[in-house]
Structure 1
Amino acid sequence: MPHATPTREVIANAVLLAGRAPSVHNSQPWRWVFADATLRLYVDPSRRVHHTDRTGREAIISCGAVLHHLCVAMVAAGWQAHVDRFPHPRNENQLASITFTPLDVVSDVQRRRADAILQRRTDRLPLDYPTYWASFEPVLCGSIADTAATLDVLPDEARAELTEASRLTELLRQDDLTYQAELQWWTAPFVAYEGMPPETLASSQESYRVDVAREFPSRGVGDRRAVIAEDRSKILVLSTESDSPADVLGCGEALSTVLLECTMAGMATCPLTHLIELDDSRDVVRTLIDEQREPQVLIRAGIAPPIEDLPAATPRRPLEAVLEFG
């Protein structure tokens, strides 16, 4: 008979795997506490990237992604997660309380989904067109049908307008010294457990071929993936009914779902939030979807050359920095 409560080792392994979730500038703004058979998730205000994420939405989206990753990891370990979101309204930093019951069976698909956590990378290089998209799109939309988010796949003819909005965003921020200093810090090569190493960023030659992307400080001079003359990825938008913390957290969970489903289907992905951070560019995205909804995050999804080696995983904070046993 399995134990009625997962051991500390099981929790630690799941939190470690869940920590591979994407977060704004790889800031990892989450904290876990396990006590009394309950795992609690908190947003860590000290980890917020203030000049990029002025509203705090991106930190909550990041926590939603790590929450879904955690549930996937626990299922693969034989435990069903039961999530109570925002259990204490007066404690706005506690996002979820999670209890667990043992599973009798873990399917191959559930194990593959957990494996996809380790396979997924944020790919900022140009991507090729996913030729099987027409058959995959209904599966992807169905995977988030029960979440707080709606998925829109932008038509190719909307790309020019989106590209212009992306350029406008960078133009409006080019003289924002605090934002630029923040980017410099999070892309510094000396940061050991957080941020974005130089090899994960596009060089000036590579970024020239990606029309919808955040501009990071150029850290290299290479020209990887030169066979892809221009980015031909599909661009997806996740939106919610409102900017409430509950909706934004749910959007993060949907983001995790989309990224893992794309990874399982053999696609590379790149979440994009720079177009949502300023009102002007966010309004452009809003006009491309249902104008009554609030766009929260965009995703590029496409095909990377199959002969490429999987890039090294970006660094993560040590387990003892994010998990506490009560």
Structure 2
Amino acid sequence: MKPAPVGVARPVSHHITNEAFHQAVAAARHAPSAYDLQPWQWRITDVTLDLFVDHTRLTTRTDPDARLATISCGAALHHARLTLAAHGWRATVTRSPDDADPAHLARVRIDGPAPVDAETAELARVIDLRHTDIHPVTGDPVEPATLRTIATAFEAQHVRLGLLRPDQILELAVAAADSASLEPAVAQWQKELALWAGNDRIVGSPGGRLPTVSCGRDRAATFALLHGPRDNAIDWLHAGEALSAGSLVASTFGVSVLPFSAPIEFAVAREALARVVPELGFPYLMVSLGRHPAR
């Protein structure tokens, strides 16, 4: 058999690519998604894997522009990309491949075989082990060096990760406590901020000063905001890819990543973020990072 010309990939059979795509889709089922709706749909052809947002699974009341759904699809896309790489495939991803169909979020094409490095193999293994832990963080704080490594994983997916200072969390806690919203996502956000800031009672003081709080149970957590300079569907897709990448790397360090959708779902949360952290760009998702003791 004559060797392929230099720089030209040898064709891969459709049977082999289809099997690889099915493995990628299976792994994507483990991706984190808002409200656990898994609002994605995959279509496999002989040469491509196409990702669509599934509008039948959207929560239109809290996600009218499919922002959260697109973030969830981004996480599934990263899981699929990682799985292909871990199985020895080099793939090209085209995001928003069809201007006439905004629901068509990405197209994945296998270019040919590629070597697998140890880090990629380890992250793919973590896909089956990673889970979202909603319990309060009571373990040791995440070390600065570990935080930097996790932040690098988030930011490799074209977003920025802004760590929030304790005083900013306190101000956000006051804003959340003042909200009359009974939406479940806002209630979760209120609860988590209260745990970090102090306890069940947060009392605001006149003149915009910080609240009076007692020692909280969740003070070992680190809060951060995924953000960027633009606020388009492709940015939300990147935010989901970042959530997947950062969560998987965090899991290798025994760190749990808990995402919060309230800061982008509800006006009161967005306004509070813009007031408290005006130096950040458009918010995509808020996350807390921390360790949980073995149970």
Q: TM-score range by the shorter chain?
A: 0.7 to 0.9
Q: What is the SS of the residue equivalent to 1:118?
A: coil
Q: CA–CA distance in 1 between the matches of 2:148 and 2:280?
A: 23
CA gap of 1:21–1:10, structure 2 versus 1, over 3 A, is same
Aligned equivalent of 2:94 = 84
- The answer to whether the 8 Å contact 2:50/2:104 transfers is yes
Q: CA–CA distance in 1 between the matches of 2:115 and 2:239?
A: 28
CA gap of 1:104–1:55, structure 2 versus 1, over 3 A, is closer
- The answer to whether the 8 Å contact 1:152/1:237 transfers is yes
CA gap of 1:95–1:39, structure 2 versus 1, over 3 A, is same
- The answer to whether the 8 Å contact 2:18/2:45 transfers is no
Aligned equivalent of 1:303 = 291
- Structure 2 residue corresponding to 1:165, chosen from 175, 180, 190: 175
* C-alpha distance after superposition, 1:262-307 (max 9, x if no partner): 11111112110112211221122233435461111011110011x3
The answer for unaligned runs of 5 or more in structure 2 is 1-9, 198-215
Q: CA–CA distance in 2 between the matches of 1:302 and 1:106?
A: 30
Whether 2:34 is the aligned partner of 1:62: answer no
- Structure 2 residue corresponding to 1:240, chosen from 211, 217, 228: 228
Q: Mapping of 1:42-53 within 5 angstroms?
A: 42-53=52-63
Amino acid at match of 1:137: L
CA gap of 1:291–1:4, structure 2 versus 1, over 3 A, is farther
- Structure 2 residue corresponding to 1:16, chosen from 26, 34, 41: 26
Give aligned pairs, total: 263
Q: Percent identity?
A: 27
- Structure 2 residue corresponding to 1:37, chosen from 33, 36, 47: 47
Structure 1 residue 148: deviation in Å? Answer: 3.0
- The answer to whether the 8 Å contact 1:27/1:47 transfers is yes
Structure 1 residue 160: deviation in Å? Answer: 1.3
Is 94-103 or 130-139 further displaced after alignment?
130-139
- Structure 1 residue corresponding to 2:254, chosen from 263, 266, 276: 266
* C-alpha distance after superposition, 1:116-139 (max 9, x if no partner): 211111111101355442112222
Amino acid at match of 1:112: E
Aligned equivalent of 2:145 = 135
Q: CA–CA distance in 2 between the matches of 1:130 and 1:64?
A: 30
Q: What is the SS of the residue equivalent to 1:31?
A: strand
CA gap of 1:168–1:63, structure 2 versus 1, over 3 A, is farther
Q: CA–CA distance in 2 between the matches of 1:162 and 1:4?
A: 54
Q: CA–CA distance in 1 between the matches of 2:159 and 2:275?
A: 17
Structure 1 residue 14: deviation in Å? Answer: 1.6
The answer for unaligned runs of 5 or more in structure 1 is 184-201, 213-227, 309-326
Aligned equivalent of 1:277 = 265
Q: CA–CA distance in 2 between the matches of 1:66 and 1:10?
A: 15
- The answer to whether the 8 Å contact 1:42/1:93 transfers is yes
Instruction: Considering Cα pairs closer than 8 Å and 6+ residues apart, tell me whether 1 or 2 has the greater RCO.
Output: 1
Q: CA–CA distance in 2 between the matches of 1:279 and 1:209?
A: 19
* C-alpha distance after superposition, 1:87-141 (max 9, x if no partner): 1111011001110133342122111101121111111110135544211222223
Aligned equivalent of 1:96 = 106
- The answer to whether the 8 Å contact 2:53/2:73 transfers is yes
Q: CA–CA distance in 2 between the matches of 1:287 and 1:260?
A: 31
CA RMSD of aligned residues (A): 2.6
Larger Rg: 2
CA gap of 1:267–1:2, structure 2 versus 1, over 3 A, is farther
- The answer to whether the 8 Å contact 1:209/1:231 transfers is no
Aligned equivalent of 1:112 = 122
Q: CA–CA distance in 2 between the matches of 1:50 and 1:261?
A: 32
Q: CA–CA distance in 1 between the matches of 2:58 and 2:102?
A: 14
Tell me the TM-score normalized by structure 1.
0.73
Q: What is the SS of the residue equivalent to 1:119?
A: coil
Q: CA–CA distance in 2 between the matches of 1:230 and 1:30?
A: 33
Q: CA–CA distance in 1 between the matches of 2:226 and 2:292?
A: 22
Structure 1 residue 80: deviation in Å? Answer: 2.0
Tell me the TM-score normalized by structure 2.
0.80
Q: CA–CA distance in 2 between the matches of 1:268 and 1:89?
A: 37
Amino acid at match of 1:236: A
